[in-house]
Structure 1
Amino acid sequence: MSSQPTSIRIHQFAGLQPGPRFLVTGAVHGNEIHGTRAMTEIIRQLDAGELTLKRGTLTCVPIVNPLANQLNRREGDRNLNRNLRPPVIAQDFEDRVARVLCPLIAQHDGILDLHSFQGNGPAFAMIGPRNNSGELEPFSQEATESALAAALGVTRIVEGWLSTYALGIARRQQRSHDGSRRASLISDPHYGVGTTEYMRSTGGWAITLECGQHLDAGGPEVARLAILRALVFLGMLDESAVQAHQPAQPPEVLQLYDVIDREDMGDSFEQAWASFDAIARGQKIGTRANGEAVLAPSEGRIVFPNVKSLPGTEWFYLARPSDRKL
């Protein structure tokens, strides 16, 4: 068995003119490598002079979680994209990554975090909350996130992540657990905080781009074009660096409003759901191990249905149309 990685590779291009400090990350979940492949190509293009950075600083971290990537799975010891904060005492590999990652995030103005997902479905972007001064996720960069997400070339944008997580955590806290570290982590109010939430907590803007299913052959190109479009949007590359084509219709905007956990490995879906499949109120989504039907509480969409989720973790999300204007 190979030893655990002891470093993270960080690539940085510092423009000679001042400008935005832009961070791009991939393989935060080790088996989600569309962003890794996209960054490899963009780094090559910059090195070869095929792309020219006009201003600002571009930092690329193609493999944020090298242990999970080495194992070709989502996690090393735990989910790096949950409970992300600098640890007081490192208890696992992801804590050691966080010691490096959190200060790196804080040094930048914004982040594009590139992911993929288990089920089938099209690429989409996830953005933060509306501007607010509340306790959960105070924020003042709504306009930047909305405009940048609309420029990335995806046809769907989703909001409402952390508020939905808070609802799920409140339910978990009402259930008894075995006292393990895993059980403590998934019932921690901080559990919903990952790369983008941490960036927003430092005052920056952040977008998660889900580039398609894990094995989608088109995923790396979705990621590559999104990085280029973001750089053009930020004035860091000339517009000629990327094709101007955009979807004919403005992106659909959806609001996450609930998350349903798996309770038992015997819980099963009614059908092979894909992200954003339409569901009707009262439609049967799945069946619990005890035979109880899991029904849709209202009309909307199913998001991130995960047949591989573990008991006590997210099984699927629910979304409905948002009134947010981009």
Structure 2
Amino acid sequence: MTSNHSANPTHLRSHIFHGLAPGPRLLVTGAVHGNETCGTRAITQLLEEIDKGQLSIERGTVTFVPITNPLAYQRKQRMGDRNLNRNMAPSAIPQDFEDRIANVLCPLLDAHDVLLDLHSFHTGGAPFVMIGPQNNTGALEPFSHAAEEMQLALHTGPHRIVEGWLDTYARGVQRRVAAAANGGGTRAQSLVTDTNYGVGTTEYMRSRGGYGVTLECGQHDDPQAVQVARHAILQTLGLLGLIAQKPSPEPMEREILRLVDVVDREHAGDTFAREWRSFDAVKAGEAIGTRDGGAAIDAPADGFIVFPNPRGEVGQEWFYFAQRRV
């Protein structure tokens, strides 16, 4: 009998540990994007330590999902059929591999109180952690756990905290809808113009009454990113009381930035003015890039470049613009 190793994965693996005393329910995810493997490696290390008795889960529940998108991981790329960390919702009629994963992952998120989602990024730059909105009762992202989420973010390790994800995405979706008015109706286009497009793991978690953070542990290939992920997992376990070890104190230094815009790559010929790193500072009017037709893209104000992706797909995010929280 022969096996087809190139076939799409057929299951999602999770590892669940129940402490013998009551406590919160934590979900830790790695490789939501298949080429972001620092979380996978850190989780694997800690699973071995739990099995050897070197780390004990004493309270509550922790579930580890080392490879959240097994198709993208198998292909060693960001996505399988599409970006799992966008349009996160159950699908009555799944259209692609990520829809099928979401149908398993969403109930898993529903069953937990807190999420630690471990990622990495394309270009150079220091680790940072992303949080959700302030407490509010608005229509876009109502929320009531801002204090707990900030405490979790501060304990993960990085001093830099970034907010403003979903409302920035809402503005980006509005622009895509306007640009697509005269275009075709492809699956990819329907996804990026969906009002749910900005919803990923943490946004879904908040919509279900929980809270969580996205930790960007460093550049994809930086070995130190694994240690950043490992430290964050142990800090979270300690903060929530799932292990006996207390977390290290919050960093004294902190910087809070707010995403204010997302700029899409409109053509394969769009180019950056230089090799940007996340959180490179720019002055108002400074050149960021050039469109294929020659139009300049300049900084609208003093701020910072976030998630620059020189290999970004046409019609998807190219970079973000952030400013200090006022």
Q: Quick one: which of 151, 154, 161 aligns to 2:158?
A: 154
| Corresponding position: 1:208 with 2:211 | no
Partner of 1:293: 296
Alignment partner, residue 80 of structure 1: 84
From 162, 167, 179, give the equivalent of 2:185. Answer: 179
Within 5 Å, which residues of 2 pair with 1:128-277? 128-176=132-180, 177-239=183-245, 244=248, 247=251, 249-277=252-280
Q: Deviations over 1:256-304 (max 9, x none)?
A: 0111111101000000000000000000000000000000000010000
Specify the alignment match of 1:284 in structure 2. Answer: 287
Q: Deviations over 1:16-38 (max 9, x none)?
A: 11100000001010110000000
- Is the 2:273–2:289 contact (alpha carbons within 8 Å) kept by the matching residues of 1? yes
Match of 2:53 in 1: 49
Residues 1:24 and 2:22 aligned together: no
Q: Distance in 2 between matches of 1:147 and 1:140?
A: 14
Deviation at 1:250, TM superposition (A): 2.2
TM-superposition CA deviations, 1:232-264 (whole Å, max 9, x none): 110111236x6x3764x4221100011111110
Structure 1 residue ranges (4+ consecutive) displaced by more than 4 angstroms after TM superposition: none
Q: 1: distance between equivalents of 2:271 and 2:188?
A: 23
| Aligned-pair identity (%) | 56
Return the TM-score normalized by structure 2: 0.96
Query: Within 2, Cα distance between the matches of 1:175 and 1:61?
Result: 37
Q: Which amino acid aligns with 1:63?
A: I
Say if 2:11 is the partner of 1:7: yes
Query: Equivalents in 2 of 1:3, 1:256: separation in Å?
Result: 39
CA distance in 2, matches of 1:212, 1:251: 17
Give the letter for the 1:119 counterpart.
Answer: T
Question: For 1:18, what is the secondary structure of its paired residue?
Answer: strand
Identify the residue that residue 313 of structure 2 maps to in structure 1: 310
- Return the letter of the residue paired with 2:231: L
How far residue 188 of structure 1 moved from its aligned partner, in angstroms, is: 0.6
What does the per-residue CA deviation read over 1:48-90, in whole Å, with 9 as the maximum and x for residues that have no partner?
A: 1111112000000000110000000000000000001000101
> How far does the alpha carbon of each residue in 1:180-233 deviate from its partner, in whole angstroms, 9 at most, with x for none?
100110111100001000000000001000010110110111000000001111
CA distance in 2, matches of 1:258, 1:175: 16
3-state SS of paired residue (1:130): coil
Unaligned runs of 5+ in 2: none
| Separation (CA, whole Å) in 2 of partners of 1:189 and 1:175 | 15
Q: Normalising by the residue count of structure 1, what TM-score does the alignment of the two structures yield?
A: 0.96
Select between 282-291 and 177-186 the one with higher mean Cα deviation. Answer: 177-186
Report the secondary structure of 2:235's partner residue. Answer: helix
The code of the aligned residue for 2:167 comes to S
1:121 aligns with 2:125: yes
> Which one-letter code corresponds to 1:315 in the other structure?
W
Measured in 2, the distance between the counterparts of 1:191 and 1:149 equals: 24
Shift of 1:152: 1.1
SS of the residue corresponding to residue 20 of structure 2 reads coil
Q: Which amino acid aligns with 1:212?
A: G
* Alignment partner of 1:62 is 2:66: yes
Mapped contact 2:155–2:249 kept (Cα < 8 A): no
Is the Cα–Cα contact under 8 Å of residues 154 and 250 in structure 2 kept in the other structure? no
RMSD in angstroms over aligned alpha carbons? 1.1
Q: For residues 114-161 of structure 1, what are the alpha-carbon distances to aligned partners after superposition, in whole Å with 9 as ceiling and x for unaligned?
A: 000111111100000000000000000100001111111112110000
Q: How many residues are matched?
A: 320
Unaligned runs of 5+ in 1: none
